[in-house]
Amino acid sequence: MTQLPPNAPPGMPPLNPQGANPPGFQYSEDQRKHLDLIQGIVSRLAGNQFLFKGWVLTISSALLGYAVTYRQVAVALLGIPVTLGFAGLDAYFLRQERLFRHVWKDAVAHRIAVYDLNVGPHLDKVRYFRSRTDENGRRRPAVAFSPPIVVLYGMLVLAAIIVAGWSGFTRSNHDDLKPTPQPTQSSAGLHQPR
C-alpha cells in the first residue's frame, strides 16, 4: 500500500507507509542540498562534542595536577563544577545532534518540507533526564545519562574526589609543606653560618 507524504510536491511518486522511496526514485537538487545541510549540522555538533571532551580533559588534568603537586583540596574540588559544566554542554550538543538525526530521517522519508530544520516535533523523543522506549521497542537512556557522558565525566568527578581526599589526608599528616626557615637578622647584620 502506498501513499503520498503530507507535503508532497506535485508529480512526486507515492511512498510506502515506512517512508522508503519507490524503485527508481531520484531526489531533487533541493532535497539533496537539504540532506547535506542537515548532515553538516550533525557533523558540526559532533565536532563540538569532541572539542568539549578535549577541553575538559585538559582543564581537569591541569587542576588535578596542581592539586596533587601542592596538596590543594580546594583546587581539586574546583574540578568538580568545571567537569559538571562541561558535561552539561556535552549533553546539550548530544541532544541537538540526536534531534537533527530525527529531522534527517524525516527529510529522507519526505515527511517534512524541503529546508525545514524544525526539531520541535522530536523534543519528546530525545530527553535530558528521562529515558524512553523508541518506536522499535528499544530502551533509550536519557541524554544526560548516556554512556559516553557518564563514563568520561563520572571518571573525572571521581578522580577529583580522590585527589581532594588524598590531598587533605597527606596535607594533615605531613609537615613538609611548612615554609623553610629564613636566615635571621641580628644586631650585627645577617647571621652567617660558620
Helix axis angle for 29-70 and 73-108, nearest 10°, is 170
Please say if the pLDDT value at position 175 is more than 90. Answer: no
In the prediction, which pLDDT does 1 show? Answer: 44
Predicted confidence band of residue 4 (pLDDT cuts 50, 70, 90): low
φ/ψ of residue 68, rounded to 5: -70, -45
Position 150 in a domain: yes
Position 144 in a domain: yes
- What's the rounded mean pLDDT across residues 98-111? 92
In the prediction, which pLDDT does 34 show? Answer: 93
Position 3 in a domain: no
- What's the rounded mean pLDDT across residues 7-14? 51
- The rounded percent of the chain whose pLDDT value lies above 70 is 76
In the prediction, which pLDDT does 135 show? Answer: 78
Look up residue 118 and give its amino acid: N
CB 93 within 8 A of CB 51: no
Position 161 in a domain: yes
Identify the weakest region by mean pLDDT among 22-31, 43-52, 92-101: 22-31
- Among 44, 96, 115, 155, which residue's Cα sits nearest to residue 106? 115
Position 94 in a domain: yes
- What's the rounded mean pLDDT across residues 85-95? 95
What range defines the domain where residue 111 resides?
Answer: 29-170
Position 8 in a domain: no
Query: How far is residue 118 from each of residues 104, 123, 173, measured CA to CA in Å?
Result: 11, 10, 59
Position 142 in a domain: yes
Torsion of CA 15, 18, 24, 25, to 10 degrees: 60
What is the per-residue pLDDT across 126-160, written as a single tens digit (0 to 9) for each? 999 998 888 788 888 899 999 999 999 999 999 99
In the prediction, which pLDDT does 29 show? Answer: 92
Please say if the pLDDT value at position 162 is more than 90. Answer: yes
In the prediction, which pLDDT does 185 show? Answer: 64
Structurally, how many domains does the chain consist of? 1
Position 11 in a domain: no
